[in-house]
Amino acid sequence: MIYDICIIGTGAGAGPIAYEMALSGKKVVMLEKGPWIKTDEFTKDEMVATRRHVYTPNPMDEPQVIEQKNALGAWEAQSTYKSGANFWNGSVVGGSSNFMSGYFARLKPKDFKLLSAYGEIEGANMVDWPISYNDIEPFYTKTEHLVGISGKVVPHAHLEPRSTSDFSFPPLAEHPVSSWLDLAAQELNYELLPLPRAILSRNSQNRRACSYSNYCGSYGCATDAKGSSRAALLHEAIKSGNCKIIPNAKAFFLETNGKGKVIKAWYYFGKEKKSIEAQIFVVAAQAIESCRLLLMSKNKDFPKGLANNYGQVGKNLIFSGGGIGSGNFLFRDFSDAQINQLKVNGLFINRTLQQWIEYPDPENGRIMKGGSVDFLFEHANAISKAIKQKWGKNQELIYGSDLKNKISFYFKQQRKLNFEVFTDWLPTDNCFVQLSGHVSDKWGDPVAHIRIDSHPQNQKTGRFIANKAEELLRRAGAKNVSSNINGSAPSNLQAGGCRFGNKPENSVLDINCKAHETENLYVTDGSFMPTGGSVPLTWTIYANSFRVANHLKNII
């Protein structure tokens, strides 16, 4: 059978394509490297979700190579199998969208013209997007409705233009401490805003509303309230009778006809090699793995990898810059009524700071792109919280009664509130994906070799924003307030590597995310993004995929 469209991956970049094409009557097949885990199989088992390789590949079977600068400034590469690290994301049907926290924010109009709006920064490969905010706005709105975003639109200085007055679903229930932050923000003259979430606040579309379990990030949703590609889009695509998903199918090669047209996707199914034929092929396996697949798909017409005759595949890899911070609300500092408020479980803080989306550089007064902050209680994971208590004041290991007392105090006498800082991760020449020359996966294929370098501006901006967030926590009554802003790359927030643009000399994809050098190959995960903005990436990935789907419906 020759399908109308074959999609590699099933996450946020894949779901909208499958949904739109299947519901329009096209025959769709999706290849997913991981298993198909159903809603009732997503439990709150911490060992499964965060302590074992259940939702992600085991680095023993599928390592990656991470290259970073060591303490002396020299580049050092090591496989994740040897280091014990794991840079994978959700590798199941629905991808990592199953395990996101669902913090959703749109890019701002200036994010599409970062170079024009803020000027060059030495060492950064900044470019303007080939589309504007207005081109993607209708698809942000479509995502709000179909994926399901709960929240309240509040006018503020950096509110992006909208075609609707509010979100499709009312706000989720808020934690009492949200009002503490609101009061502290008023005292500091901060503009603290309600934060939209891709989590249903009421039953809709055969999905149940949030149960407020406080197990969102790293966990699959047991009610399908979270707007994963699986729950929000793929279920409906399958119901149409036009969408077939093949789990445990790892794509490893895209075959062309010698004229720039992809004719087959080859994949491993167990130990077998199988292929799928289609008219259109869409790669949406997350940025790193999408680049890896194209680089592995070499042939005589593309000796450096599919769509890579200009050497752009894998270049300008980006993540989300910023970092994390926290503060402890010690019960001894509060009244009994306030302690009871602190002890409330499950409800969301759902607050964000966007006041410094742009800011004047204190050193030169130049207006720079800034960032945003979201606030959330420490994750419910008990094991990881207990393990962290093993260190004493001087970073010595503690044992016995001292350890027991510390664990008891941590769980019974305080509540930890975290914040996450999001800034642009500026693309550079030293952040890219290539194929490893010496490390292979269990199938014998070269793994992704990922060089990670963070531009100094990332940390500079992150520190400025983090200082503002720290001040808010202190004003709200938190102690031990601190933050960590560094050049570490969050594996769950990856983009770039196949950036889109108008010229093949400096981009891989055209304005519709079709590879310049091919007739029928599209890439619709975060790979297409030239810059990432200073908010989580998922909403923009969803919206762009709907935009590309709209284009595909007009040509197939």
Instruction: Please write the tens of the pLDDT for every residue from 348-372.
Output: 999 999 999 999 988 888 999 999 9
Would residue 205 count as lying in a domain? no
Q: Which residues contact 535 (CB under 8 A, 6 or more apart)?
A: 103, 105, 106, 107, 372, 422
Q: What is the mean pLDDT of the chain?
A: 96
- What pLDDT is recorded for position 332? 97
* Interatomic CA distance for residues 307 and 300, integer angstroms: 12
Residue 553's closest CA among 142, 77, 36? 142
Other CB atoms within 10 Å distance of the CB of residue 348: 24
Query: Average of pLDDT values for 58-70?
Result: 95
Residue 279 has pLDDT above 90, yes or no: yes
Band of the pLDDT at 431, cuts 50, 70, 90? very high
Taking the alpha carbons at both ends of the chain, their separation in whole angstroms is 17
Read off the tokens for 486.
């560094």
What is the full DSSP assignment across 320-346?
EEEEEEEEEEEGGGS-HHHHHHHT--S
Would residue 142 count as lying in a domain? yes
Other CB atoms within 10 Å distance of the CB of residue 144: 26
Residue 52 has pLDDT above 90, yes or no: no
- What pLDDT is recorded for position 62? 96
- What pLDDT is recorded for position 219? 93
* Type of residue at 438: H
* Interatomic CA distance for residues 446 and 245, integer angstroms: 26
Other CB atoms within 10 Å distance of the CB of residue 170: 12
Query: Average of pLDDT values for 317-332?
Result: 97
- What pLDDT is recorded for position 379? 87
Residue 48 has pLDDT above 90, yes or no: no
3-class secondary-structure state, position 159 = coil
Would residue 162 count as lying in a domain? no
- What pLDDT is recorded for position 306? 98
- What pLDDT is recorded for position 205? 85
Spacing of C-alpha 279 from chain mean position: 29
Residue 258 has pLDDT above 90, yes or no: no
Instruction: Identify the weakest region by mean pLDDT among 182-196, 381-395, 411-425.
Output: 381-395
Tens of pLDDT along 266-276?
A: 999 998 999 99
- What pLDDT is recorded for position 54? 87
Residue 368's closest CA among 453, 495, 432, 455? 455
- What pLDDT is recorded for position 49? 84
- What pLDDT is recorded for position 380? 86
How many Cα atoms occupy the beta-carbon half-sphere of 175 within 13 Å?
27
Tens of pLDDT along 177-210?
A: 999 999 999 999 999 999 999 999 999 989 999 9
Band of the pLDDT at 96, cuts 50, 70, 90? very high
Would residue 27 count as lying in a domain? yes
Residue 556 has pLDDT above 90, yes or no: no
Tens of pLDDT along 207-237?
A: 999 999 989 989 999 999 999 999 999 999 9
Q: At what angle do helices 538-555 and 15-23 cross, to 10 degrees?
A: 30
Tens of pLDDT along 137-182?
A: 999 999 999 999 999 999 999 999 999 999 999 999 999 999 999 9
- What pLDDT is recorded for position 350? 95
Spacing of C-alpha 307 from chain mean position: 25
* Interatomic CA distance for residues 127 and 196, integer angstroms: 29
Task: Give me the CATH number covering residue 82.
Answer: 3.50.50.60
Band of the pLDDT at 320, cuts 50, 70, 90? very high
- What pLDDT is recorded for position 274? 98
* Interatomic CA distance for residues 294 and 535, integer angstroms: 28
Query: Average of pLDDT values for 304-318?
Result: 98
Would residue 365 count as lying in a domain? yes
Instruction: Look at the chain and report how many structural domains it folds into.
Output: 1
Would residue 168 count as lying in a domain? no
Which residues on adjacent β-strands are paired with residue 315? 497
Band of the pLDDT at 417, cuts 50, 70, 90? very high
Residue with more model confidence, 362 or 59: 59
Residue with tokens 């060059």: 120
| Burial environment of residue 47 by CB neighbours within 10 A (0 to 12, 13 to 18, 19 or more) | exposed
- Phi, psi dihedrals of residue 419, rounded to the nearest 5°: -140, 150
Band of the pLDDT at 304, cuts 50, 70, 90? very high
Would residue 212 count as lying in a domain? no
Q: Residue 487 sits in which domain range?
A: 2-154+174-200+220-555
- Residue 393 is given by DSSP the state T
**8 A C-beta contact, residue 417 and residue 177:** yes
Residue 259 has pLDDT above 90, yes or no: no
65-69/446-451 β-pairing: parallel
249-256/262-269 β-pairing: antiparallel
- What pLDDT is recorded for position 394? 86
Would residue 92 count as lying in a domain? yes
Band of the pLDDT at 395, cuts 50, 70, 90? confident
pTM of the model: 0.97
272-283/2-8 β-pairing: parallel
* Interatomic CA distance for residues 156 and 313, integer angstroms: 39
Residue 174's closest CA among 351, 349, 329, 344? 349
